[in-house]
Amino acid sequence: MKKTCLLVGCCAFAAFADAPVEGCADGTVVSSISFEGLEHTNPRVVERELLNKVGEPFSVEKFNAEKLRLQDLDLFTEIEVSCRSASNSEFRIPSSELTYTLKEIFRWIPAPAGKKTDRDGLMLGLALANLNVLGEDIRAEVQYRTTVDPFFDKNEYAFYASSPYFLGFPLGWNFEFLVTDSYDNIRGFQENSILLDLDLDYKVLPHLSLLWTVAGRDLQDAAFLPELGIGFAFDYRDSKLDTRRGVYFEYMLTHVGEGDDSDSDCDVSNGESCRGMGGENFWEYLTDARAYFTLGKFVTGATALVRLRPGDVKFYDYYYHGGANTFRGHEADSLSLGVHEALLTLEERFVLLERRSASVAGVNFFYGVQLVAGLDGSLLWDKGHPGWDDYEGAVYGGLHLVIPALDRIRFEVGYSPDKGEPVFYFGLFDKVTSSRWRSR
């Protein structure tokens, strides 16, 4: 599904060493479960992620798995469990009372807002976010962002809201409202647009989800652009964020637009708005595949994002490659445009510093450091099948700082033999996440 540029999204970081389990032995029956440290979070938010259940034998393996599930909620910096013998247990065999101790991450955050795209560069601004509305793991955020070079040249106003559940059902949802005032110097047009987008993710089985997307974009000088899509995803990753093991496969079929807005009857003298860029009418076939394997401190990841779009695609929605979010071999420019795209990455990460929790002035957070190196492949073409002339390759390396709110800050240097000179890149979020943004 689409990933929006949430200030507060993507703040879980999976720790893969065995979690501390104080006094808990495998096979001991769980007589009760209690929680400590939940000041702002409803206990049911934690309970629905637990694999250890009352009346069942305790399992350290289950706890390590449920710890990753709880970290994916982006609500906690520390998660531990302890056991003590039950004094008045109804069970005739030894049993234990489980206590989960959780340290909550900051809840309200008035803070700088950041976004880094290949088209607009670094954008900064202000944001006000609540990471846990009503204690139900609902995120809500308002943002204003502008470019820094030059200041106030391009502007965005946004509202985001999301949650992995809806009224207690495993129906994840993500809502985005985005107003853009920005000149696109790559595709050559002024983008004054309003976007409304709702993405849904219904977990049918533990590793299978059905996906829906519905959106509408009002782009100045173009037709109104509705969007409706459906798909599915198989997710066997150990953690959704900073994955170390497992595979992910997603397929989406989306229809965009409803045809051209004819301006043959448009009379500018009467003050009518002639939508000169026209409308679109195309299908998008999206495949997003990811695989990860860990050996010690080395994490190997292979990802492929392929989007085919038969139909009428206008220039203002052409894909472009180049930059920290797409192809780390050169900067994006008007020579790297295409209707269809394929982005391929093979990356090796070395975990220099595992996740560590910290607290400053009562604000809980975590941090980690990773060294990275990899290969980027880019295919960008207009019609038919791609050829070798449409392919570019590059190598890159760098340092990633793993932090809350931005997931990670990426400092990378890429080199493409076709260009012959290294390029420094600064990026926010994981590249496989930022590649899915609408504004790239």
pLDDT digits (tens, 9 = 90+) for 68-123: 888 888 788 888 898 888 765 565 567 788 899 998 887 776 655 666 666 666 77
E-state strands within 309-420: 311-312, 319-320, 337-338, 340-360, 363-381, 391-403, 407-415
In this prediction, residues 5-11 reach a mean pLDDT of: 35
Residue 143 CB-half CA count within 13 A: 29
Helix, strand or coil, per DSSP, at residue 295: strand
d(Cα 52, Cα 66) in Å, to the nearest integer?
8
**Sign of the four-CA dihedral 360, 363, 369, 373:** negative
* pLDDT above 90 as % of the chain: 48
Distance CA 132, CA 72 (A): 14
What is the DSSP secondary-structure string of 322-338?
A: -STTS-TTS---TTSEE
Kind of pairing between the strands at 298-308 and 423-428 = unpaired
Q: Which residues contact 30 (CB under 8 A, 6 or more apart)?
A: 52, 53, 54, 55, 56, 57, 58, 95, 96, 97, 98
What φ, ψ does residue 43 adopt, rounded to 5°? -55, -30
Residue among 371, 383, 377, 382 nearest 410 (CA) = 371
Calculate the CA 397 to chain-centre distance. Answer: 22
Cα–Cα distance list, 134 to 39, 107, 140, 276, 326 (Å): 11, 11, 11, 46, 37
Neighbours of 97 (CB within 10 A): 17
- Report how far residue 60's alpha carbon sits from residue 189's, in angstroms, rounded to the nearest whole number: 57
pLDDT at position 151: 73
Phi-psi region of 426 (alpha: psi -120 to 50; beta: other; left: phi over 0): beta
How much is the average pLDDT of 370-376? 98
Query: Are β-strands 407-415 and 423-428 bridged in parallel, bridged antiparallel, or unpaired?
Result: antiparallel
Q: What kind of architecture, by CATH, is found in domain 183-193+201-434? A: Beta Barrel (2.40)
Amino acid identity, position 287: T
- Cα dist from 112 to 51, 125, 127, 153, 161, whole Å: 37, 6, 6, 18, 18
Write the CA distances from 261 to 217, 276, 326, integer angstroms.
14, 9, 31
Structure tokens at 367: 């941090």
Which residue ranges does the chain devote to CATH 3.10.20.310? Answer: 21-104
Q: Reduced to 3 states, what is the DSSP secondary structure of residue 132?
A: coil
Instruction: Look up residue 311 and give its amino acid.
Output: G
* CB atoms near residue 270 (< 10 Å): 6
What's the Rg (C-alpha) of the chain?
24
Range 315-327 average pLDDT: 92
C-alpha dihedral (17, 19, 25, 29), degrees to nearest 10: -130
Q: If you average pLDDT over residues 407-424, what whole number do you get?
A: 92
Per this entry, what is the length of the chain? 440
- 251 pLDDT higher than 80: yes
Q: How far apart are CA 10 and CA 432, in angstroms?
A: 12
The single residue listed with the structure tokens 């060493």 is 17
| CATH number of the structural domain 21-104 | 3.10.20.310
Which of 147-151, 317-321, 413-417 has the least mean pLDDT? 147-151
Q: What is the mean pLDDT of residues 187-201?
A: 92
Across the chain, mean pLDDT equals 85
Residue 118: other Cβ atoms inside 10 A:
25
* Cis before 94? omega within 30: no
Q: 3-state class of 297 per DSSP?
A: coil
- Residue among 385, 432, 390, 386 at smallest CA distance from 407: 432
Q: Which residue would you say has higher pLDDT here, 216 or 121?
A: 216
Nearest CA to 401 out of 422, 370, 358 is that of 370
pLDDT band at 274 (very low <50, low <70, confident <90, very high): very low
Tokens of 215: 């959106």
pLDDT tens digit string along 22-63? 667 788 888 899 999 998 899 999 999 999 999 899 989 999
168 close to 190: Cβ distance less than 8 angstroms: no
Secondary element (H or E) of residue 232 = strand 225-235
